[in-house]
Amino acid sequence: MEKYLYTALFAPLVSSLFVALFASRPKMLFTGVIASILIAISMVSSFVLLIDVNTHGALHVNMMDWIVAGNLYIPFGFVVDEVSVIMMVTVTLVSTVVHIYSIGYMDHDKSFNRFFSYLSAFVFSMMILVMSDNFVGLFIGWEGVGLCSWLLIGFWYHKHSASWAANEAFIMNRIADLGMLMGLFLIYWNVGSLQYEEVFATLKDLDSVVVATIGIFLFIGAMGKSAQFPLHTWLADAMEGPTPVSALIHAATMVTAGVYLVIRCGELYSMIPDVGFAIASLGAFVALFAASMALVNNDLKRIIAYSTLSQLGYMFVAAGLGAYWIALFHLMTHAFFKSLLFLGAGNVMHAMHDELNIKKMGGLYGSMKATAILMSVASVALAGIYPLAGFFSKDKILEVAFNEGAYFLWFALFIGAGLTAFYSFRLVMLVFFGEKEYIKHGFHPHEAQPFVIYALLPLGLLAVIAGWFEHQFEGFTTRLLARYEIHISHGIEIVLIGATLCIAVGGIAFAIYKYQRGGFSKTWEEGFFYKLLSNQYYIPKVYELYIMRPFTMLSQFVWQKIDMKVVDFTVDSIARTIYKTGEKSRKMQSGNLSDMLRWMVVGMVVLLVLALFYRPMA
Amino acid sequence: MITLTHYLILTGLLFAIGLVGVMRRTNLLMLFFSTEILLNAVNIGFVAVSKYYGDFTGQMFAFFIIAVAASEVAVGLGLLILWYKRNGSVDLNSLQMMKG
């Protein structure tokens, strides 16, 4: 089985390195095809491992020693257990679809080959992240996906906004990674090892304050990667990247790494329920906060990005309250329908020549039936309507919040579910139905190539059926993760499900009703709330005014005053001194033998004096 | 009684004369003389110390130095004559071709 493990892990690396050979050449179709095949091989291996883990249990290999210094021992070790294999399957499945899709999407891009190299490198980093059996390997993968995310957001680097967004994402993550590093240092300091097994085995002996500190620091890292408040602004701006990137990295896989970290450290977080509750509260806040921003946005991709943010909040609620398998379940189902939604949005963008304003679309159903159906399915799944995937996972999270007695969190999530349904269908209505606004703007939309649509079908299927495997999923993952008992009586459970379904259906119905009649009137857009929401609560402005500007001023001061006048001056004066000395002593080389002989005598005298006074240490 | 000290003082004096010659003289021939004085000053020192310790190594060295000096002078004088034939002068200031 080790062979399959190594295949699953290294096929993306081979793909990335091979395609990188052609990175600066013009488009070559085979790079995309080979990358897709290699990622598909990785996916098949992951599925084989899934079956193997199901029958034989976890697989643990030590590839080789990596860092052996004093008491520090870190191997290149990989573990395929119930959690990591679920992540592997999800990541490789979505990646395969996205790779195939990208062949169509990036068709006219002159950096076609480079794109596939980056995309495969991302998959490799993500595999390292989920498969590592120690925190350092996880951190390497963590940084690797951060790097690939930076490369891919800034893929069209000649666009100022793209390179700005790439830097923003990277810097935000850097702030959070500092927290994560602190957590790792604390773990090593207190435990003396970074292997998951040893760390979790020794945690019980540690002081609870230390455990809580470690938990908080690790969660700061997770907040950055999963774009939780207040580090959330980068995710919406990351939509500057090509749409397949948004689908793979900023919806399905990388942003869920934070949730994965909390799930992986479940044993740690279950020891500190207060921190867990704080995580859940933050998650619920983000779920509502992001959903409200999605309500009024007119940018096709940003709406879906805010929706991702909101769903990540849901996952953190489940993980924070100790329902780790439910968080993982929602992570998986969300990966399927959210990537489908994004890839569908990519088709729409292509049809509309990269136009993103949904107010300029409308009535696209006529020309893009397949995409419209797939996106509607994904939206229904996202809204959580029975029997699609989102219903099962999201409803479980609401039940968990209710079960824990956190009625306030439950209420926030409940409202969030209604908002989710509303903004999903606002998007569907504005894009695919209603007035054909695009005619006024002179667009001629056309459906994507057939193979692109076929590539999306597996995701469409999974968005429908993934939820049906809830019980198998629970049985499988709770072999490793903590079980979660729900104590609500059956009657209340039915009422809860009914209420959630009602608010979701209500949201959908309201959106359809309202937007069939041309949407809200213009006066709404003058209102305070509309402005607050469409300006993202003015948070980017606040960041710019109170963080970026002072920091820029500080940087300028440091640059012009400290760097130029102190550091550079010192270095320059050393150089100048040496230069001047050379200029002066050049005259020694007069070419006159007499002068040289005199200098020779001087040298001899100096050496003699040294010989007289120098006493070597006895 | 002539002791080792006297010999060494003589050596020092001769060496100083040689050094001054090397530094002050501009005639190439005189420079050769000065170098010979330097070498022989050292030779005297070697022989004196050798006698003092009753060890012949120093005297052997002196012979080596005489032999090496002789061959060096032979080559050097040859070059000097060649230079004189070309330039009509053996003044050091006329030898100045490379300047930093």
A124 Cβ neighbours under 8 A, 6+ residues apart? A9, A10, A12, A13, A16, A144
Nearest to A263 by CA among A343, A324, A173: A324
Residues in B touching A586 (Cβ below 8 Å):
100
**B94 in any annotated domain:** no
Instruction: Please give the pLDDT value at position A208.
Output: 87
Residues of B in contact with A601 (CB under 8 A): 19, 22-23
Within a domain: B74: yes
> In chain B, what residues touch A590 (CB-CB under 8 Å)?
96, 99-100
Query: Which of A597, A598, A600, A602 to substitute to test the interface with B, most B CBs within 10 Å?
Result: A597
Residue of chain B whose alpha carbon sits nearest to that of A582: B100
B95 to chain A, any CB pair closer than 8 A? The answer is yes
Question: What is the rounded distance in angstroms from the CA atom of residue A288 to the CA atom of residue A177?
Answer: 25
Give the whole-angstrom CA distance, residue A321 versus residue A272.
10
Asked if residue A44 has pLDDT above 90, the reply is: yes
| pLDDT computed for residue B100 by the predictor | 53
Strand, coil or helix: what is A134?
A: strand
| Contact residues for A258 (Cβ-Cβ < 8 A; gap 6+) | A221, A222, A223, A224, A225, A226, A228, A312, A316
CA distance B74 to chain A (A): 20
| pLDDT, tens digit, 9 for 90 and up, residues A289-318 | 999 888 888 888 889 999 999 999 999 999
| B98 within a domain of the structure (yes/no) | no
Q: Give the alpha-carbon dihedral of A111, A114, A116, A120, to 10 degrees.
A: -160
Query: Domain range holding B10?
Result: 4-89
Amino acid present at A143: E
User: Which pLDDT does position A58 carry in this prediction?
Assistant: 85
CB of B98 within 8 Å of a chain A CB? The answer is: yes
CB A61 within 8 A of CB A3: no
Helices (H) and strands (E) in chain A, counts: 28, 2
pLDDT in tens, A333-343: 999 999 999 99
Minimal C-alpha gap between B53 and chain A (Å) = 23
| Residues from chain B contacting residue A588 (CB–CB below 8 Å) | 100
Hey, are the CB atoms on B99 and A586 less than 8 Å from each other?
no
Which chain B positions have a beta carbon within 8 Å of A599's beta carbon?
Answer: none
Give the list of residues 6+ apart from residue A441 with CB closer than 8 angstroms, or none: A355, A360
Nearest residue of chain A to residue B27 (CA atoms)? A594
Q: Does A592 touch chain B (CB under 8 A)?
A: yes
Subunit contact B95:A588, Cβ cutoff 8 A:
no
Share of chain A above pLDDT 70, in %: 100
| Amino acid in position A283 | G
Q: Check whether A238 has a pLDDT greater than 60.
A: yes
* Residue A247 in this model has a pLDDT that exceeds 60: yes
Distance CA A214, CA A220 (A): 10
Cis peptide before A230 (omega within 30 of 0): yes
pTM score: 0.79
Nearest residue to A443 (alpha-carbon basis) of A368, A341, A361: A361
Residue B97, domain member (yes or no): no
Which residues in chain B have Cβ-Cβ distances shorter than 8 Å to A598? 23
Do residues A373 and A493 touch, judged by C-beta distance below 8 A? no
Choose from A108-117, A358-367, A432-441 the range with maximum mean pLDDT.
Answer: A108-117
B28-45: pLDDT as tens digits: 889 899 999 999 999 999
| pLDDT of res. A516 | 80
Work out how many domains chain B is built from and give that number. 1
Whole-number pLDDT of residue A184: 92
Average pLDDT, chain A: 88
Per the CB < 8 Å rule, is A587 touching B95? no
Residue B26 belongs to a domain: yes
Q: From CA B59, how far away is CA B6, in angstroms rounded?
A: 18
Q: In which residue ranges of chain B is pLDDT below 50?
A: none
A19: its two tokens: 């395609």
Using CB atoms, which residue from A588, A589, A593 is nearest to B92? Answer: A593
> What does the alpha-carbon distance between residue A133 and residue A197 come to, in Å, rounded to a whole number?
8
- The reported pLDDT for the residue numbered A527 is 77
CA distances to A126, A142, A195, A200, B93 from A62, rounded to whole Å, are 19, 20, 12, 19, 78
Is A154 in contact with A166 (CB distance < 8 Å)? yes
Q: Establish if B95 belongs to a structural domain.
A: no
| Residue B96 falls inside a structural domain | no
- Give the list of residues 6+ apart from residue A37 with CB closer than 8 angstroms, or none: none
Q: Does A597 contact B22 at a Cβ distance shorter than 8 Å?
A: yes
Residues of chain B neighbouring A594 (CB-CB closer than 8 A) = 23, 25-26, 92-93
> A597, B99: Cβ pair inside 8 Å?
no
Residue A366 has pLDDT above 90, yes or no: no
Q: Among B26, B98, B99, select the one facing A594 at the smallest CB separation.
A: B26
The pLDDT value recorded for residue B10 is 94
Mind listing the pLDDT tens digit for each residue in A137-173?
Answer: 999 999 999 999 999 999 998 989 999 999 999 999 9
Task: List, in order, residues 6 or more apart from A443 with CB less than 8 Å away.
Answer: A351, A352, A353, A355, A360
Nearest-CA distance B89 → chain A (Å): 15
Q: How confident is the model at residue A569 (pLDDT cuts 50, 70, 90)?
A: very high
Is residue A90 a contact partner of residue A127, using CB atoms and an 8 Å limit? no
The runs of H, that is alpha helices, within A384-489 are: 389-403, 407-432, 437-440, 450-465, 470-477
CATH code at position B52: 1.10.287.3510
pLDDT at position A390 is 85
Q: What is the ipTM of this complex?
A: 0.83
List pLDDT tens digits, range A95-153: 999 999 999 888 888 888 999 999 999 999 999 999 998 899 999 999 999 999 999 99
B20 in A contact zone (CB under 8 Å): no
CB A491: neighbour CB atoms within 10 A?
A: 8
Please give the pLDDT value at position A618: 61
Q: Is-contact A309 A235, C-beta < 8 A?
A: yes
Question: Tens digits of per-residue pLDDT, A448-476?
Answer: 888 888 888 988 998 888 888 888 888 88
Q: Which of A190, A82, A66 lies closest to A134, judged by CA? A: A66
CA distance A318 to A524: 35
